[in-house]
């Protein structure tokens, strides 16, 4: 049974842990994670049940590059294994950072990381049209070799340069988190949970009725919304590199959005106001959370997180009039 504390799912962007200008050293990532932990700590100190998910794009990209560098000596692992590995890596770092911050404040909370599998439809249209670039950049010779040897779908993603090609993988829509019952029990018990990092490990139900990992990735924010559903969260917060969602982006009519209802958000999304692969899935995740029955969804930057919950910052998506 859920306690009477309010509950929030916080989705951290992968670049909150490794900034684009950084090399991705252990020390840099530890510093980024500590900063994120201090942000999350505000919610814990103020009495919230907190569930955390995170991106892993920079980390899984580095892992794929490391694998490619030693491919002649060790067999590369598939994408689902790489996703699970980086879930564990970042979960451990976040878990340890939070434990240290809580200990410094004499707050007694258990922090746990759960590796999550996320079910997708094996007939999802994304499998017929892989569009998510992952891993290292390749030259033309490597592109041809990997397409022939491993069956990789390769595409030019840079207009010029010696290495303009990357591998494309499917990004199917999440259906549900398989570990939903365990997640709910752990959160209801008052523990701080880190789960479904990098969108979770995408799995399908095979024709034989078995779960199988697939070569693909799930959008972290869409998966985070499924996590919010799974734990019956009151709030869903996406932390990204900007304090507000904007419409008219890059035009003279550009303006930040403050508070809007789910119907307005849906209309802006359908008008194409948000960039695909960037802000569009974040807004869609927030819309889905409200339509599922959540109280409020918020998009903002980490430094504005607590102020956004107090409704002084950020973009807030809420139910429309006459809706729950």
Task: Compute the distance between CA of residue 134 and CA of residue 62 in angstroms, rounded to an integer.
Answer: 10
15, 24, 246, 320: the active-site residue: 15
Sign of the CA dihedral with 259 first, then 262, 267, and 270 last: positive
HSE, side-chain direction, 13 A CA sphere, residue 105 = 14
- Render pLDDT for 254-264 as a digit per residue (tens, 0 to 9): 999 999 999 99
Interval 23-29 mean pLDDT: 80
Specify which residues 11 forms β-bridges with: 53, 238
Between 134 and 321, the more confident residue is 134
Interval 140-159 mean pLDDT: 90
Both tokens of residue 290? 């409200």
In the chain, where the domains are located = 7-121+173-249+271-318, 132-169
- Answer whether residue 324 shows pLDDT above 50: no
pLDDT for residue 151: 87
pLDDT for residue 2: 55
- Answer whether residue 17 shows pLDDT above 80: no
Q: pLDDT above 90 covers what percent of the chain? A: 72
18, 143, 226, 282: the active-site residue: 282
Both tokens of residue 308? 């956004």
Q: Which one, of 174, 302, 170, 307, lies nearest residue 228 by Cα?
A: 174
Count other Cβ atoms within 10 Å, centred on residue 260: 19
Catalytic residue check, 132: yes
Residue reference for tokens 């106001």: 273
Between 239 and 252, the more confident residue is 239
- Answer whether residue 226 shows pLDDT above 90: yes
Q: Is beta strand 132-138 parallel, antiparallel or unpaired with respect to 211-213? A: unpaired
18, 132, 226, 304: the active-site residue: 132
56, 199, 200, 220: the active-site residue: 220
Catalytic residue check, 220: yes
* Phi, psi of 161, rounded to the nearest 5 degrees: 110, 165
Quick check: 33 and 17 in contact, CB under 8 A? Answer: yes
Range with lowest mean pLDDT among 21-30, 56-65, 99-108, 300-309: 21-30
Catalytic residue check, 226: no
Work out the pLDDT band at 28, boundaries 50, 70, 90.
Answer: confident
Catalytic residue check, 282: yes
Domain 7-121+173-249+271-318 -> CATH class: alpha beta
């Amino acid at each position: 049974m859920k306690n009477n504390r309010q509950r929030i799912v916080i989705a951290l962007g992968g670049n909150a842990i490794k900034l684009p200008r950084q090399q991705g050293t252990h020390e840099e990532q530890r510093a980024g994670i500590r900063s994120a932990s201090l942000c999350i700590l505000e919610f814990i100190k103020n009495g919230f049940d907190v569930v955390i998910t995170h991106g892993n794009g920079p980390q899984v990209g580095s892992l794929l590059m490391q694998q490619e560098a030693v491919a002649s000596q060790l067999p590369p692992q598939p994408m689902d294994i790489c996703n699970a590995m980086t879930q564990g890596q970042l979960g451990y770092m976040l878990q340890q950072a939070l434990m240290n911050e809580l200990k410094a404040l004499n707050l007694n909370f258990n922090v746990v990381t759960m590796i999550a599998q996320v079910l997708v439809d094996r007939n999802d249209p994304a499998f017929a049209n892989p569009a998510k670039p992952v891993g290292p950049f390749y030259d033309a010779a490597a592109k041809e070799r990997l397409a022939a040897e491993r069956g990789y779908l390769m595409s030019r993603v840079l207009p010029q340069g010696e290495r303009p090609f990357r591998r494309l993988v499917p990004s199917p829509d999440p259906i549900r988190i398989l570990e939903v019952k365990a997640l709910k029990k752990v959160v209801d018990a008052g523990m701080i949970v880190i789960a479904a990092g990098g969108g979770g490990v995408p799995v399908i139900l095979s024709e034989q009725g078995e779960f199988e990992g697939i070569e693909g990735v799930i959008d972290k924010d869409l998966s985070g919304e499924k996590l919010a559903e799974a734990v019956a969260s009151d709030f869903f917060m996406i932390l990204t590199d900007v304090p507000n969602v904007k419409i008219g982006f890059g035009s003279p009519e550009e303006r930040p959005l403050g508070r809007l209802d789910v119907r307005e958000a849906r209309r802006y999304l359908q008008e194409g106001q948000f960039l695909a692969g960037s802000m569009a899935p974040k807004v869609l995740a927030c819309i889905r959370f409200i339509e599922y029955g959540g109280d409020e969804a918020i998009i903002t930057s980490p430094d504005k997180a607590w102020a956004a919950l107090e409704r002084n910052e950020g973009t807030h998506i809420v139910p429309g009039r006459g809706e729950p």
